[in-house]
Amino acid sequence: MRLTEDSCYRALTARDRRFDGVFFVGVKSTGIYCRPVCPARTPRQDRCRFFVGAAAAEQAGFRPCLRCRPELAPGQAPVDSKSRFAHDIAARIESGALDDGGSLEHLAGEFGLSSRQLRRIVAAELGVSPVELAQTRRLLLAKQLLTETRLPIIEVVYASGFASVRRFNALFRTHYRLTPSRLRKAADSPADEHTLRLTLSYRPPLAWDEMLNFLAARAITGVEAVEKQTYLRTVALRKHRGWLRVGRAENGHALSVDLSPSLTPVLPNVLARLRSLFDLDARPDVVAEHLSADERLRPLVRQTPGLRVPGCFDAFELAWRAVLGQQVSVRSATTLAGRIANTFGDTIDTPFPQLNRLSPTASRLAAVEVKDLAKLGIVRTRAASLAALAKAAARGGLLDLWAAEPEQRLEQLQSIPGIGPWTAGYINMRAFRWPDAWPEGDLALRKALGVASTHQLRGMAEPWRPWRAYAVMHLWHSLSKTESRKP
């Protein structure tokens, strides 16, 4: 559905969850902006203004609703090249790229732009400046922390990305017309000094069991674990180390995230990585409608609604794990990954016995000799590829790929010795979140569709664009169900 004022109002009156986070509505009579799923009484259409993002609503003078809480809305998942560039920039801002001394010039440099070009792109697509986008993100995260946690207000200030308490207080009063302490008194948040608990919303449906099964089969021993319908892992970002646990929230369409307080200084980055890992900004309705047009995929989409493309928490970790998976079973690759983590990952104490290692960094693996990797049972040519990947990542090579076009990214990945089309496509699919990614030559896909050649498979997949990665997940899942029924 093309977004017009009339179509937005129809979605608003229907409380259509498919459009949660796709647009926001500002109510002129109250000065408040809401999500389209807000349970408040629907205003008349002539009292509504519609915005593509929370930052645009706040720039227009509206303040966030305390009832539907716009800070919990899932984000958008664009696929067209025009909007993708702006949203890639927005995603970097969302993860805190302009916090902690980060500059607009440095962010622009990541995308090969000048700061002026970056401002123009973001303003044209999202209707606000990068600084306004970052400011809204900080305010909404602060609002969530004040509502859902008992962090001291000064910690909320810095955790949400503000560098000054005075600046935070001034902006909070101006935008929200109440003080942080007043919002804290109105909130009913649990008091637990040992754990932070936050929520991350998504558009239903979400095939949570299937997501966990996929991650469990590939979990790196000591670093990750899946148990009792929850995902656990250790975290090391900058100098901050800790752990997290993610499960379904008791109420609503959201995930519940428990984190160690040690991760508070890097909270924006952690939350952005989790949204990527669980593909929480997906539009399952749009994907399902498109893929169901293919008679081969239609029954698979209906059998597993809300199947997402699992992302990753760390791009380098996913990349070296993918290299290990070349031409071996998932189980064998997972065993090798556990050996690497146990040998080269730092130890860490957590409340969970199964979490005791941090994922090895690129600089650590770059310093390891190929022969030492081969001693772990890794084929020497694959060990050499892993070492080359680590050296490229340590030089910042993977970071440069974020701003590249998908096809260019494939070429750059394949320039690393030992990385072929399948591995590059898989990394593009999961680490770089490209919804049309394609693991070229995948044998499981050929088996699932009963085709003999890669060329034939590629031709069959053309109508699935721009959602081929989701089609891949449905086909892999159908194959795994078939295998599980074997005696």
Q: Is 400 annotated in the active site? A: no
- Catalytic-role residue among 258, 279, 314, 442: 442
Closest CA to 88 of 400, 411, 350: 400
Sheet (strand 224-227) strand order: 196-201, 254-259, 240-248, 230-237, 224-227
Tokens 């796709």 sit on residue = 22
3-state secondary structure of 245: strand
Residue 449: both structure tokens together? 């569709």
| Radius of gyration for the chain, computed over Cα atoms and rounded to the nearest angstrom | 23
Say which amino acid occupies 139: L
Residue 27: both structure tokens together? 């109510």
| CA count, 13 A, side-chain hemisphere, 162 | 24
Phi, psi of 48 (to 5 degrees): -105, 145
Contact 301, 291 (CB under 8 A): yes
Closest CA to 75 of 55, 96, 60: 55
> Strands 240-248, 254-259: parallel, antiparallel or unpaired by DSSP?
antiparallel
Find the DSSP H helices in 278-405. 284-291, 298-303, 315-324, 330-344, 362-366, 370-374, 380-394, 397-401
Q: Is 442 annotated in the active site? A: yes
Tokens 């970052």 sit on residue = 134
What letters, b where the CB count within 10 A reaches 16 and e where it falls short, cover 394-415? beebbeebbbbebeebbebbee
Contact 64, 55 (CB under 8 A): no
3-state secondary structure of 244: strand
Contact 469, 429 (CB under 8 A): yes
Cα→Cα distances 133→138, 319, 453, Å: 9, 30, 47
Query: Rounded to 5 degrees, what angle do the CA atoms 177, 179, 184 make?
Result: 120
- Sequence-distant (6+) residues with CB within 8 A of 262 are 240, 241, 242
Q: Is the dihedral of CA 335, 338, 339, 340 positive or negative?
A: positive
By CB neighbour count within 10 A (0-12 exposed, 13-18 middle, 19+ buried), where does 109 fall? middle
- Catalytic-role residue among 8, 34, 38, 65: 34
Residue 354: both structure tokens together? 């199964």
Active site members: 34, 442
